[in-house]
Each structure stands twice: as structure tokens, then as C-alpha cells.
Amino acid sequence: MPATWRINRAVPAVFVAGCAAASLLVAGCSASLVAADGASADAGPHVQGQGLTPDNCAICHRAHTAQAPDLLKEPETELCYTCHGGAATGAATDVVDGIGYSNTERTGTPGALRGGGFKYALIDSAHPSGQGSEGSDPAGVVPELAGGAAVTSAHSVDSSSQMAWGNGPISAEPNDGNAVSLSCGSCHDPHGNGMYRILRAIPIESGATTGVEIPQPEGMRHLYTTTNYWDVEDEYAPAFIAGVSAWCSACHTRYLSSTSYTESGDAVFTDRHISNGTTQGSPSCIQCHVAHGSNASVDAAGSFAVHSPQELPAGPGSRLLRIDAKGTCRMCHAEK
């Protein structure tokens, strides 16, 4: 029986429903959604110790006629978008739209990147489950949207100057952080480093001196989507969570705290939520935040204004939260 094209003249809604219902895997601050052996971002041209021939280098580099730093043919971000941008013509991750494709299963359905996208995200930030009025339910999920929504804020990767909030040591003098300029390569190692998200041990411009190697269990298969992010049953999540807060804190140094209700001595980041959780359900950075961009809104109805660290008025945005407004708090704390 030969395979055929099926012409579906009224299928789009069915297709969307199917896609929306599909379960996906994600976690992490990073880029990709794809999983598994070969599902790792440490694949393709980003393979540690492999493919380092002049011919392969020629994809991105020129020895004598480069037009950008690091002997790159072109400035970095658009170079990355050539494969990882809209349409994902050369990768399983579309970091512009916050979409991930399975590169382990042909029939895998595209879905939402856990890290969101730089222009769009598929995070149904208004309808998380687990917001009980009686108590916390960290096993709840943030569903995927059927279609992308424009992000309200994102890490800017166009190399423009931006504030790395909380960057630097504890300071008795008010200090929000330090200006940095980010590109994709600030956090990711394009040559591969053996880690499936190819996160650099020390992000560029972070000022950190100690690297954080996030554990990668043997046979690690999963990346994490918005839907399974809170899944406490997932066997691989703990490994990532164990290291991710320390990694994020390479830049956001003074956000990392192992205690609450203890003055840090910092004039701005004085008393802080626990953020160094290393186990599932304990508070880590990625329990509340995404890495690329989020369509959540901190000024959604019923919310309160969220200011910058020094309480300066701040416009609308997501603060890279996964859930609108104080919904993030209600994932773990009963409504007061």
C-alpha cells in the first residue's frame, strides 16, 4: 500500500488541537527542546572534539576575511538565527518563536520551548494548574498556547548594553548590577562542550571566576517544555535543577540565596527568597523564570506593580516569569 498525500481541506483546527495536546519535554534556561541521544544541542556543528576540520569551520568562520569578532563571517546572532531562527531551516529549535521540534522521533510534534523565544513564546501564562487556594502544588503545569504570543520581555541577544541585575558581589552601597552585552554565545558554546544544552561553565561577561558544570546524567533524554516542567516524576529533572541556579547566578550573583529572612548585607538585595533549590519542587531560578523570553505579563489584571530592584518604576514586561503577575507566587503559596 503506497503512502499517499492526504489532502485535508478542513484540518487546521484539528491539527492545532493535536499539536496543543501533545506532550513535550523541556526544562532549563537554555535553548533547545529536543531530546535524547542526538537530541542534544551538543550535536550537529556543535560537537565537542568532532568535525573540527577547516571545511566544517568554514560554515561560520573565515581566517582572513572575517567580518565580525572571533573570525566569524558575520555578527553572531543572525548567524545563529540562520539555523535556529524562524522556520528552523537547520535545527530542531526555533529560538525566535520559542518552538521545539523532536529530533528523535519523526512523529514528534512541535511544541513550546521551555526557555521561550526571543520574539514569541507559547507559554499559556494565564492558565497554570496547581494554583490552589488551600496550598501549594508545585507539580502543576503551565500549558502551551495553541499559537505564539509576542513576548513581553526577553534577554536581549543583539549585543546591546543591558543591565545584569544583581551582578557583582554583596555591596553596602546601592548597586543594581552591571551593564553587559549579550549574544547567543554569551551563554552557549557553539563548539560544543559535552553538555546537552551547550551552556558555558562561565557565561561571557558574567565576571564569575568559578565555573558551574551542570550535571548530565548518562542517557539524559529530556528537555523540558512548559507542560512537563513541574513534573516531579521526571527522572532527569533533578540533575539540571541541581546546578541551574548556581549557573544563572554567574550573572545574577546576588539573587542566589539559601536562606530567607536573613539580611545579606547588600543595600539592594537585602532579604531574598530562597533560590538555590537543587531538588524538584524546591525553589530554583527556573521554577519561576525562563531564559529566552516570555509572553507572561507582570501587570496583568489583579496584579501589582513589579519594580526594578531599587524600586524604580518599571514598565510592563514579564521579568522572564512563566506565569502572569502574582500567579507565580500562587503556584507555591496559598492565596492570602
Partner 1 sequence: MAPGDETFPLGREPLPDAGGSITSGAADRLTEEERKRRRRKIAALAGILVVLAIIIYMIIRALSGSSPLPSIPSELPHYVSDIYGTDQPMGVAVSPSGGRIYVTESEGPRLVRIYDSSGHQLGTLKPPGHNQAWHLPVYVAVSPRTEDVYVSDRLRQDVDVYSPTGKYLGALRPTGHLGKGAQPLGLAFGSEGDLYMTDVGGPRQDHRVLVFGSSGKELLRKVGSPGTFWFPNGLALDGKGDLYVADSNDGRLEIFNPAGKPAVSIERGVGEGDLGLPRGVAIDGNRLFVVDTTAQVVKVYRLPGQVTEVPAYIGSFGGEGIGDGQFQYPNGIAIDHNGRIYVTDRVNGRVQVWEY
Q: Is 96 in the site for partner 1 (CB under 8 A)?
A: yes
> CA–CA separation, 163 vs 144, rounded Å?
29
List 93, 120, 193, 296, residue binding partner 1 (CB under 8 A):
120
DSSP, res 163:
E
- Phi, psi dihedral angles at 276 (to 5 degrees): -105, 30
Q: Is 219 in the site for partner 1 (CB under 8 A)?
A: no
**Angle made by CA atoms 28, 22, 96, in degrees to the nearest 5:** 50
Q: How far is the CB of 266 from partner 1 (least distance, A)?
A: 40
Residue corresponding to grid cell 560554515: 59
Q: Which three cell numbers stand for residue 251?
A: 550573572
Write the binding mask 25 to 44 for partner 1: x where contact by CB under 8 A, - elsewhere.
-------------xx----x
Q: Is 17 in the site for partner 1 (CB under 8 A)?
A: no
Residues 140-159 that bind partner 1 (CB under 8 A): 146-149
> CA–CA separation, 21 vs 243, rounded Å?
30
DSSP 209-270: -S-------TT----B-TTTTT-TT-SSHHHHHHHHHHHHTTTSGGG--S-SS---S-SSS-
Q: How far is the CB of 117 from partner 1 (least distance, A)?
A: 9
Residues in the interface with partner 1 (CB under 8 A) total 62
Nearest to partner 1 of 96, 246 (CB atom): 96
> CA–CA separation, 291 vs 11, rounded Å?
34
Q: How far is the CB of 325 from partner 1 (least distance, A)?
A: 23
Residue 179 · residue 35 · CB < 8 Å: no
Q: Is 56 in the site for partner 1 (CB under 8 A)?
A: yes
Task: Answer positive or negative: Cα dihedral of 247, 253, 257, 260.
Answer: negative
3-state DSSP assignment of residue 116: strand
With a CB cutoff of 8 Å and minimum separation 6, the contacts of 13 are none
Q: Is 5 in the site for partner 1 (CB under 8 A)?
A: yes
3-state DSSP assignment of residue 111: strand
List 29, 30, 85, 225, residue binding partner 1 (CB under 8 A):
85
Half-sphere exposure of 188 (CA within 13 A, CB side): 25
Q: Which three cell numbers stand for residue 185?
A: 554565545
List 83, 95, 199, 246, residue binding partner 1 (CB under 8 A):
83
List 50, 101, 171, 190, residue binding partner 1 (CB under 8 A):
101
List 52, 70, 78, 310, residue binding partner 1 (CB under 8 A):
78
Q: How far is the CB of 107 from partner 1 (least distance, A)?
A: 4
Q: Is 6 in the site for partner 1 (CB under 8 A)?
A: yes
Q: Is 160 in the site for partner 1 (CB under 8 A)?
A: no
Q: Is 4 in the site for partner 1 (CB under 8 A)?
A: yes
Nearest to partner 1 of 66, 267 (CB atom): 66
Nearest to partner 1 of 45, 283 (CB atom): 45
> CA–CA separation, 74 vs 62, rounded Å?
10
Q: Is 71 in the site for partner 1 (CB under 8 A)?
A: no
Q: Is 82 in the site for partner 1 (CB under 8 A)?
A: yes
| Alpha carbon distance, N-terminus to C-terminus of the chain | 62
Nearest to partner 1 of 97, 124 (CB atom): 97
Q: How far is the CB of 144 from partner 1 (least distance, A)?
A: 11
DSSP, res 312:
-
Q: Is 90 in the site for partner 1 (CB under 8 A)?
A: yes
Contacts with partner 1, residue ranges (CB under 8 A): 1-9, 11-13, 15-16, 19, 38-39, 44-45, 54-56, 58-60, 62-63, 67, 73-74, 78-79, 82-83, 85-91, 94, 96-97, 99, 101-110, 119-120, 122, 146-149
